[in-house]
């Protein structure tokens, strides 16, 4: 959210400013220091020109801090009572979001509490008499001392507001106290003096400065290193070893869940982000490299499996939190509470549920009646100044809602792009696997077929044809390699027995790469296959030391192309 820029033409007279600062200095507290700093920055006094002040920041802080320790113990009962009375009316009330439920910064209890208080605040601003009565009861019950003082007021000046909100002892919750008093006072019927508008402005700036989180993303966490880490996992470890270690770790994790009274598969059920053992380890390795960028250590398979299991459990926790956030929004606002139904419309239609009654009536829904009443009232009082001011306030709240929706849409768009990129990678992997299967099928076919010539061309003619291509041969016996080099001196041959590391980039400009399956190591094969998949290079398999048969097999590939 952007910071509020206060206009400079609304500054009070010098005497008024001095009195305000004197009251602030006498009140003390961190909030006062913040207000003085705002004055030093020359952006302190907002001028609302007689309109209702923007109370969003005040209400947001109220939602954050209204629940004290004692109320927190009882809040589930409070929430139950609110939902019992107001649940059916929630879609009709304003939908102003006072916090980002998807930000990943709230544990489930805080998320539920703040979401419920947001709905309660929207209900109050929409005129719910029950919710107003509920807030009065909560204030009287859980803020007894403040209640006994506040109920005596009929009007409240700035100095009275600052004095009433002054924290006790060394607690630095001045802004929390101010937001509570300013939100509760109108419910009591107390008129807030216009000079208090400055506090609304400061609370707006404070709320914006420490407001909604921009969220987090997969790309920010691991960046472009994921693909490199996935390649490293494939090259260094065999699937058999990785799956064996994962099975042992999963068995232990399952026993932990059983000890806690949960199913052994609980993490697997909850983790909707899990993409399999190899990807999990690649993500864990990416995060390790980002966490310790100066470390060049090489992690063992056992270490990565342990880190991967921690990632698996953490992902399960966050998936639960995301599910809770979406569930709360959907329960409160129906289809409009989630973006899921934008792409996957529900089959369930509540209006199609038919209930047989003794006296069927054709009745308009409450929402239709209310919309008509509001429309008629607005039309009839178009020139009424108070109605126009109220309309401005409603529009301001709609702007806040649109800003919140815009932030959520950006987050959803980022997630959609990530999923599309992931889907693209999977399709490329499937295409590569399909290509490999075709090559393997041809190889198996060549193993079982007879050696009868499949073309009437001579061996010399075949040699001339294939000698023009850039071909790389990986693997092979030393004697066989020597013979092939004499036949095709321009080809590149990789002898797996020479030792040392091999520069796999030699296949970059190759027309075809052949693996000699009789003599090739597992690691060498995967080294080259990773590059072949990435560069989309044609490849095949040959076997046996019969040079003429090798030439025929290679020629057939080029003849088919």
CB of 192 closer than 8 Å to CB of 185: yes
| CB of 93 closer than 8 Å to CB of 43 | no
* 194 in the same domain as 271: no
Using the predicted structure, report yes or no on whether residue 366 has a pLDDT greater than 70: no
Residue of 557, 552, 560 whose CA lies nearest to 460: 552
CA 360 to chain centre: 47
Co-location of 418 and 488 in the same domain: no
At 33, is the pLDDT very low, low, confident or very high (cuts 50, 70, 90)? low
Task: Output b/e per residue, 527-552; b: 16+ Cβ within 10 A.
Answer: bbbbbbbeeebbbbbbbeeeeeebbb
Same domain (yes/no): 184, 224: no
Domain identity same for 308 and 415? no
Q: Which of 178, 209, 240 is the last residue of a domain?
A: 209
User: With b meaning 16 or more CB within 10 Å and e meaning fewer, what string describes 464-493?
Assistant: eebeebebbbbbbeeebbeebeeebeebbb
- Which tens digit of pLDDT belongs to each residue from 488-512? 999 998 876 655 556 777 888 888 9
Domain boundary (158, 179, 209) is at 209
pLDDT at 239 over 90: no
- The two structure tokens encoding residue 181: 């008093």
Range(s) of the domain holding residue 298? 218-334
Query: Residue 349: inside a domain, yes or no?
Result: no
Share of the chain above pLDDT 70, in %: 74
3-state secondary structure 147-180: HHHHCCCCEECHHHHHHHHCCCCCCCCHHHHHHH
Our count of domains for the chain comes to 4
Q: Is residue 502 left, alpha or beta, with left meaning phi > 0 and alpha meaning psi from -120 to 50? A: beta
Contact 208, 2 (CB under 8 A): yes
- Position 371 in a domain: no
Instruction: Work out the pLDDT band at 21, boundaries 50, 70, 90.
Output: very low
Quick one: which H or E segment has residue 79?
helix 69-86
Reduced to 3 states (helix: H, G, I; strand: E, B; else coil), residue 361 is: coil
pLDDT tens digit sequence for 403-462: 777 777 777 777 777 777 777 777 777 776 666 666 666 656 555 555 555 567 888 889
Assess whether 471 and 547 both reside in one domain.
yes
Residues 111 and 85 in one domain: yes
Question: Has residue 5 been placed in a domain?
Answer: no
Q: At what angle do helices 301-333 and 277-291 cross, to 10 degrees?
A: 100
pLDDT number for residue 455: 62
Quote the CA–CA distance of 60 and 512 in Å, as a whole number: 65
82-86, 210-214, 318-322, 529-533: range with lowest mean pLDDT: 210-214
* Better-predicted residue by pLDDT, 51 or 92: 92
pLDDT of residue 2: 35
- Say what the pLDDT of residue 537 is: 87
- Tell me the two tokens of residue 494: 């990789």
256 and 400 housed in the same domain: no
pLDDT band at 299 (very low <50, low <70, confident <90, very high): very high
Whether 67 maps to a domain, the answer reads yes
Bridge partners of 192, per DSSP, are 156
Give me the DSSP letters along 481-493. Answer: HHHHHHH-TTSEE
pLDDT tens sequence across 259-278: 888 888 888 888 888 888 88
Q: Would 162 be classed as within a structural domain?
A: yes
**Cβ neighbours of residue 24 under 8 Å, at least 6 residues apart?**
32, 35, 36, 162
Give the residue from 160, 165, 169, 146 showing the smallest Cα distance to 192. Answer: 160
Per-residue pLDDT at 176? 87
Same domain, 518 and 388: no
Instruction: Give Cα 82 to chain centroid, integer Å.
Output: 30
* pLDDT beyond 90 at 185: yes
Instruction: Write the DSSP symbol of residue 504.
Output: G
If asked whether residues 47 and 179 sit together in one domain, one would say yes
* 47 shares its domain with 89: yes
- Express each pLDDT in 115-156 by its tens digit: 899 899 999 988 999 999 999 999 999 999 999 999 999 999
**CA–CA separation, 551 vs 558, rounded Å?**
11
DSSP state of 515: E
* CA–CA dist 255, 532 (Å, integer): 42
How far apart are alpha carbons 493 and 472 in whole angstroms?
6
- Shared domain check, 160 and 76: yes
Higher pLDDT, 89 or 5: 89
CB atoms within 10 A of CB 303: 15
In a domain, 448, yes or no: no
Residues in the chain: 561
Q: Give the count of beta carbons closer than 10 Å to the beta carbon of residue 500.
A: 4
Residue 538 sits in a domain of what CATH number? 3.40.50.1980
Residues 424 and 299 in one domain: no
| pTM exceeds cut of 0.95 | no
For residue 171, tell me if it sits in a domain. yes
CA distance 246 to 277: 7
Residue 381 CB neighbours (<10 A): 14
Higher pLDDT, 158 or 361: 158
What is the DSSP secondary-structure string of 110-142?
Answer: HHHHHHHHHHHHHHHHTT-HHHHHHHHHHHHHH
Residue 339 is predicted with a pLDDT of 76
> Quick check: is 263 in a domain?
yes
Q: Which long-range contacts (CB under 8 A, 24 or more apart) does 289-295 make?
A: 289/225, 289/229, 290/221, 290/222, 290/223, 290/225
Residue 320 vs residues 35, 327, 383: alpha-carbon distances, Å: 40, 10, 51
CA 164 to each of CA 36, 60, 66, 294: distance values in angstroms, whole numbers, following the listed order: 19, 20, 16, 53
Dihedral of CA atoms 132, 137, 140, 141 in degrees, nearest 10, equals: -140
Q: Which of 116-120, 234-238, 384-388 has the lowest mean pLDDT?
A: 384-388
């Amino acid at each position: 959210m952007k910071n509020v820029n206060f206009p400079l033409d609304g500054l009070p007279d010098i005497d008024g400013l001095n009195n305000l600062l004197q009251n602030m200095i006498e009140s003390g507290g961190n909030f006062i220091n913040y207000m003085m700093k705002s004055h030093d920055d020359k952006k302190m006094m907002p001028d609302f020109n007689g309109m209702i002040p923007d109370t969003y920041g005040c209400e947001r802080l109220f939602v954050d801090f209204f629940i004290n320790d004692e109320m927190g113990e009882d809040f589930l009962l409070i929430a139950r009572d609110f939902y019992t009375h107001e649940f059916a009316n929630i879609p009709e009330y304003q939908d102003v979001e006072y916090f980002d439920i998807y930000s990943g910064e709230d544990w489930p209890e805080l998320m539920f509490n703040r979401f419920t208080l947001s709905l309660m605040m929207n209900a109050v601003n929409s005129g719910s008499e029950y919710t107003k009565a509920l807030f009065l009861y909560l204030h009287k019950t859980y803020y007894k001392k403040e209640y006994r003082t506040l109920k005596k007021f009929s009007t409240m000046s700035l100095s009275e507001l600052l004095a009433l909100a002054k924290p006790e002892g060394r607690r630095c919750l001045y802004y929390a106290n101010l937001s509570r008093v300013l939100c509760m006072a109108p419910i009591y019927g107390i008129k807030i003096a216009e000079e208090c508008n400055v506090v609304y402005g400061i609370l707006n700036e404070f709320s914006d400065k420490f407001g909604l989180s921009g969220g987090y993303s997969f790309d920010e966490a691991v960046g472009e290193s994921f693909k490199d880490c996935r390649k490293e996992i494939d090259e260094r470890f065999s699937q058999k070893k990785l799956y064996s270690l994962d099975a042992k770790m999963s068995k232990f994790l399952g026993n932990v869940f059983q000890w806690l009274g949960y199913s052994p598969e609980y993490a697997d059920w909850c983790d909707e982000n899990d993409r399999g053992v190899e990807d999990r380890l690649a993500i864990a390795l990416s995060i390790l490299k980002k966490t310790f960028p100066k470390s060049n250590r090489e992690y063992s398979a056992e270490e990565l499996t342990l880190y991967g299991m921690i990632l698996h459990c953490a992902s399960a926790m966050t998936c639960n939190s995301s599910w809770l956030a979406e569930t709360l929004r959907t329960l409160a606002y129906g289809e409009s509470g989630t973006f899921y139904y934008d792409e996957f419309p529900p089959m369930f239609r509540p209006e199609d549920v038919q209930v047989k009654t003794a006296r069927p009536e054709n009745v308009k829904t409450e929402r239709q009646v209310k919309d008509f009443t509001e429309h008629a009232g607005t039309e009839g009082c178009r020139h009424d100044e108070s109605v126009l001011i109220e309309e401005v306030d409603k529009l301001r709240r709609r702007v806040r809602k649109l800003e919140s929706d815009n932030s959520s849409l950006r987050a959803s768009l980022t997630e959609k792009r990530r999923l599309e990129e992931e889907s693209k990678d999977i399709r490329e992997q499937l295409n590569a696997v399909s290509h490999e299967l075709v090559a393997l099928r041809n190889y198996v076919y060549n193993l079982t077929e007879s050696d009868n010539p499949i073309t009437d061309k001579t061996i010399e003619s075949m040699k001339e044809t294939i000698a023009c291509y850039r071909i790389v041969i990986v693997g092979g016996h030393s004697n066989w390699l020597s013979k092939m080099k004499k036949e095709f001196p321009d080809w590149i041959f990789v002898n797996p027995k020479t030792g040392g590391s091999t520069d796999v980039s030699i296949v970059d400009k190759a027309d075809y790469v052949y693996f000699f399956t009789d003599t090739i190591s597992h690691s060498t094969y995967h080294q080259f296959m990773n590059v072949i998949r990435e560069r989309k290079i044609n490849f095949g398999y040959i076997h046996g030391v019969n040079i003429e048969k090798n030439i025929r097999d290679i020629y057939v590939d080029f003849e088919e192309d």
